[in-house]
Amino acid sequence: MTVPVLHLADEGEAADLVAFLSRLLHYDRAAAVRLQAAGTALAVFGRPPSFEVLAIRAARLAKPYENGLDVSLDVTVSAGELLESVDGTAATAAVPGAVTGPPWAGVLPPRGGWRAEPGLPQPQALRGLVAASVAEFRSRTEELPPERRTRAELDRIGRDIWSRTVAETALPVRAVHAAQSLGFLRGGDLGLFSSGAWLRLRTPYGSVAVRRAGLGALGISVR
């Protein structure tokens, strides 16, 4: 049986894919990713559990994806197995066997209908916001007496801080924290977009998407 191979555009794309997968695995050693490839575009979706957001890394392929009669790819695989298959020098990645996808893998942001949302602060201000939030979490948890330093209390403090919204937008701070932790929040050219129930923080290095409402809201794409 022939194993499908992704031919990435260059060594830089391979290195970026390795970095993204490595960061996901840092938060979850059993992480899965959903791959979608069509033409010369590859999208890799992952969900770092600490942040409750969807992370998306786009990559360019050197040639249109094909595997026999299949000219597109849509599969959920082990992030660890995919990482091990990346050949940085050859700029290729073998597609591992499919795994039973986690629930998030069946509900992705819509492909179209995105519109720009105003009010997103500059990158430096966003990085400062994350730093201040991390410092506040550390300070509040350190002030707890030992008998109250429970997982439930730490989670409560975390929810209070990370569920706050950024400036005048509806974007939760946890989405910005995720973007920085995944290496997306570098440089400038950031944008905030919405489509249905989804918000998407887009950067040159990847995107973070988060739902503003539950699964029953409009704008959900199940595919």
Phi, psi of 194 (to 5 degrees): -135, 150
Q: 130 and 62, same structural domain?
A: no
Tokens representing 66 are 């094909």
Distances (CA, A) of 10 to 7, 83, 100, 156, 166: 8, 16, 30, 44, 36
Q: 137 and 63, same structural domain?
A: no
Give the side-chain half-sphere CA count within 13 A for 2.
8
Q: Is the pLDDT of residue 214 over 50?
A: no
For 16-53, b/e burial (b = at least 16 CB within 10 A) is bbeebbebbbebbeebbbbbbbeeeebbbbbbbeebbb
Q: 152 and 104, same structural domain?
A: no
Q: 99 and 128, same structural domain?
A: no
Return d(Cα 77, Cα 180) in angstroms, integer: 24
Number of other CB atoms surrounding residue 132 within 10 Å: 12
Q: 159 and 104, same structural domain?
A: no
Residue 25's CATH number: 3.10.150
- Interval 119-159: pLDDT, tens: 999 999 999 999 999 999 999 999 999 999 999 999 999 99
Q: 209 and 121, same structural domain?
A: yes
- Interval 20-69: pLDDT, tens: 999 999 999 999 999 999 999 999 999 998 888 999 999 999 999 999 88
Nearest to 110, CA basis, from 222, 223, 221: 221
Return d(Cα 56, Cα 34) in angstroms, integer: 10
Q: 218 and 120, same structural domain?
A: yes
